[in-house]
């Protein structure tokens, strides 16, 4: 009798566990009809899912342990802590990254994403948190000295980035000389192998790559014609609730010095007063 009872109990407990597991899994799915049964247990705190294309050091990359690390990751972690929400990062290929937030698979994106008027039509951006500009990478022995030198040359870019936009504008949209890659490191590898004559990409990433890959024998070429760019954190169009939390957190970390600390950790200097320290007081002169 006792055995029966125990066995029965265990069976029931097992079934309950399966039920709970299924219920937990079900939460990941988008609500089908709005008729989902209310859960008896208190729901766990909402964890916002962050998409990032982690092939973009020093902003987002994967370390040896497979963890996502970088300036953007630290900024979003600090923002979340400041604004009181939780985040979980998922490596998300650049191609389709905007779709992932539009479809609700990701709640926000941090991926060195330049705020552009065109993108603002389909997604919402936080206040700017980083200033950037395009930069050209070429082989050390190259005679390329300015952007317009690339007019008729083979140029590698990451598909769908602002680097892609500027070179497509220079060469014309039907140019066969714009070589589009899935990631920026792939474009740079191609430059190393001589498959393209130059790569156009965000300055921070190009500088980081050139410094860390001396064997590639690259140098950088800057050009004043490149427009200033500003990175923003992306949410789904209309998600003002989350956007407000992010902006509150951003203002908070700029004001309390933690943004500056993160900046110095990756770039060794304090940010210039533009996007970086918009609401932070100018650093006091030492002594
Ligand atoms: N800033 C550029 C853009 O928004 C490139 C960003 C690429 N980011 C990345 N993680 N791959 O188009």
Output the domain CATH number for residue 64: 3.40.190.10
Question: Do residues 150 and 200 make contact, with C-beta atoms less than 8 angstroms apart?
Answer: yes
Q: In a mutational test of the pocket of ligand 1, which residue from 101, 161, 166 has the highest number of ligand atoms less than 8 Å from its CB?
A: 161
Give the tens place of pLDDT for each residue, 57-98: 999 999 999 999 999 999 999 999 999 999 999 999 999 999
Q: How far is the CA of 113 from the centre of ligand 1 (A)?
A: 5
41, 45, 113: which is closest to 76 by C-alpha? Answer: 113
Whole-angstrom distance, CA of residue 2 vs CA of residue 15? 20
Residue 180, domain member (yes or no): yes
**How many structural domains is the chain composed of?**
2
102, 166, 98: which is closest to 132 by C-alpha? Answer: 166
The residue contributing the CA closest to ligand 1 atom 5 is 161
59 CB neighbour count, 10 Å cutoff: 27
> Quick one: 145 and 260 in the same domain?
no
Query: Which atom in ligand 1 lies closest to the alpha carbon of residue 162?
Result: 12
Whole-angstrom distance, CA of residue 45 vs CA of residue 78? 18
Lookup: tokens for 174:
């039907």
Read off the pLDDT of each residue in 267-271 and give the average, rounded to a whole number.
84
What is the pTM for the complete model shown?
A: 0.82
> Quick one: 81 and 207 in the same domain?
no
Which residue(s) pair with 158 in the sheet?
Answer: 181
Q: Which residues have any ligand 1 atom within 6 Å of their CB?
A: 53, 56, 60, 94, 111-114, 158, 161-162, 184, 202
> Quick one: 117 and 57 in the same domain?
yes
Q: Which domain holds residue 53?
A: 47-131+231-267
Whole-angstrom distance, CA of residue 72 vs CA of residue 51? 11
Q: What single DSSP character describes residue 262?
A: H
67, 52, 105, 99: which is closest to 233 by C-alpha? Answer: 52
Give the tens place of pLDDT for each residue, 224-239: 999 999 999 999 999 9
> Quick one: 107 and 150 in the same domain?
no
Q: What is the pLDDT of residue 170?
A: 98
């Amino acid at each position: 009798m006792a055995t029966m009872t125990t066995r029965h109990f265990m069976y029931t407990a097992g079934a309950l566990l399966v039920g709970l597991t299924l219920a937990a899994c079900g939460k990941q799915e988008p609500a089908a009809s709005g008729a989902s049964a209310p859960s008896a247990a208190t729901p766990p705190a909402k964890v916002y899912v962050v998409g990032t294309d982690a092939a973009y050091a020093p902003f987002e990359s994967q370390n040896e342990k497979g963890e996502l690390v970088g300036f953007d990751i630290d900024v979003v972690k600090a923002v979340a802590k400041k604004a009181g929400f939780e985040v979980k990062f998922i490596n998300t290929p650049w191609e389709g990254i905007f779709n992932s937030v539009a479809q609700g698979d990701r709640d926000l994106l941090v991926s060195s994403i330049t705020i552009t008027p065109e993108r603002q039509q389909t997604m919402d951006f936080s206040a700017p948190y980083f200033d950037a500009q395009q930069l050209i990478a070429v082989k050390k022995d190259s005679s390329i000295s300015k952007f317009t030198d690339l007019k008729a040359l083979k140029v590698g870019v990451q598909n769908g980035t602002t680097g892609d936009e500027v070179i497509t504008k220079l060469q014309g949209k039907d140019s066969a000389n714009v070589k589009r890659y899935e990631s920026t490191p792939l474009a740079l590898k191609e430059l190393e192998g001589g498959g393209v004559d130059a790569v156009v990409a965000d300055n921070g990433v190009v500088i980081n790559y050139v410094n860390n890959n001396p064997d590639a024998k690259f140098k950088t070429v800057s050009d004043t014609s490149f427009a200033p760019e500003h990175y923003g954190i992306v949410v789904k169009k209309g998600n003002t609730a989350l956007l407000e939390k992010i902006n509150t957190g951003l203002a908070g970390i700029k004001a309390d010095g933690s943004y500056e600390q993160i900046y110095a950790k990756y770039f060794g200097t304090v940010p210039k007063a533009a996007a970086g320290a918009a609401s932070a007081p100018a650093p006091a002169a030492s002594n």
